[in-house]
Structure 1
Amino acid sequence: MLTKALQHSPSCVFLSFGDPRPFAAEIRDAGAALICQVQFLSQIDVALEAGAAAIVVQGTEAGGHGGNRSTFPFVPEAADYLKQRSPETLLVAAGGIADGRGLAAALMLGADAVVVEEQQHQRSIAALKRRAAKRGFRLESVQVTT
């Protein structure tokens, strides 16, 4: 399945819930960046060994898959860990981030980016439109790029 996906020349491949090392060479040879999602600090070294360009730290708010810790306590610990071992590797926070406040919090804690689930994003946009309307503003459109 990975080989078929790589035939479409993705810019990156996002792996989670397993050892990324068996797939890393094929991903790298296809010219795609490897993004590894981890649920525990101990998994970061495996992701780095695989050559991950970015590490996604996933807390329990991400569908209950984050091991036994929340996203926001995990982010600064992972940020400090990466700063010591691989400062060029990007840190991405995942779980419970649905709006600009969550993004700002994650960035302040050391993340370089966040993963926002699409339904949460759409609810945030709807809430933003309601707040704008209450204040007499009309929000025409919001453009999201991926």
Structure 2
Amino acid sequence: MSVFLAFTMSLFSPIVAGAAVEPMGLLMGTLSGIVIGTVVMAALPVIPLSMKFAVSCGAKEGSLSWFLLKDVLLCTIMYLILSLCLNAMVSGIDASFVNRWLAPAPLLWIICYVVAIQVEPLCMFLSCKITRTQLSFGAPEAAPEAEGR
């Protein structure tokens, strides 16, 4: 997910600000965002928190509403951290930093959310393939009965 969100933010941040997309800025923003996003996702329990958030909103685990609500918190956390770090790296921190950081937030968050809900199935599939695990929702399946009884 970090790859897609970093690329999306690096691509659309200048567009929302009314600037041209620079290839080197896109590359550096994407690479920096991937590293930052990967560290954040590894260090913080973003996915479990997002799942709990969706359930606390009344969504049944594994349902469409659960996926959509889960991505609200996931995208919010990742957007805030990535945009803060990338803005600080690109423009520096001065008196107008908070305005530069928060002014495009609503539109950029919506763009990132739309990308997140579109690429999450691919991300989940790839992570299951890489870790050689099965994707499951809800209660774990009962263990098979021992043979020989």
TM-score, normalised to structure 2, is: 0.23
> Whose radius of gyration is greater, 1 or 2?
2
Which has more strand, going by share of residues?
Answer: 1
TM-score, scaled relative to structure 1: 0.24
Specify which structure has the higher proportion of helix: 2
